[in-house]
Amino acid sequence: MFAAKPIISSLVLALSAGFSAYSLSHADHSIEKAVAADHRAEKNSSRDEFRNPVSTLEFFELAEDQTVVEIWPGGGWYAEILAPYVMDKGQYYAAHFDPNAGIDFYTRYQKKFAEKMAANPNVYGKAKLTAFYPPNKVNTVKGSADRVLTFRNVHNWMKSGFAQEAFDEFYTMLKPGGLLGVVEHRAKKGTDLDTMIKSGYVTELKVIEFAEKAGFKLVAASEINSNPKDSADHPKGVWTLPPRLALGDEKREHYLAIGESDRMTLKFVKPVQ
């Protein structure tokens, strides 16, 4: 564990004076309905065939009355589903980049995400935006989360040198019996550390190692997000594949035919002492 203490303070997005209930409220409040809701951006919902949000969130045993922390939600792909799903009975925390970390990319992306949330209070009005950049800034819940979820981020923490600290903090966030859900690009067994960092693909063994060292126990692994077409060996790593298509028009149809990356889907529990 690192020494920095989490600061329990959050930017609660202001509700508009004329706040109206989200369309799923007091209705059929299933994960399926949240995924099918019309507020989702088309560019995001078009990725459902590769990211399988309904099956993935059911595997993580998500329920509408839970406190859910999403780590580094990026542009808000899963936030569009999670925030409204737990709006009535639970709480959604978006633990995003620290805008004060002195990293331009972090500042720009966090600002864009905050604007996305503020622009749609019917969906994000009760969500809380926090910062996650261990060990310098861990501004979120401590010991009260039911779920900590993260999607395609482990390689970023490895590159930044704080992957173990990140998993340690996930353990701190969760209540005993709480679950950690991880989706990550999957490297072939035996892939070395440098290749993982450069390619964006991480071995399942490495993710499990981070989690178990933090105190978690592996509950189950799923092939929900697997893609046997993906060799995990591309000129520009995982970013060669859609949606990034880092090579532009070069072999574009080939990479589109492969689809998004092969991914592990792992579920861990914080043991009850």
Spans in the chain with pLDDT lower than 50: 1-27
Q: How far is CA 72 from CA 112, 233, 245, in A?
A: 13, 25, 22
d(CA 41, CA 76): 10
Whether omega before 53 lies within 30 degrees of 0, making that bond cis, reads no
Beta-ladder partners of 145: 174
Q: What's the pLDDT tens digit per position in 47-75?
A: 999 999 999 999 999 999 999 999 999 99
Rounded CA gap, 223 and 160, in Å? 28
Residue 178 class from Cβ within 10 Å (0-12 exposed, 13-18 middle, 19+ buried)? buried
| Phi–psi pair at 37, nearest 5 degrees | -60, 145
Report pTM. 0.89
Please report the domains of the chain, with CATH numbers, ordered by start residue. Answer: 11-228+263-269 (3.40.50.150)
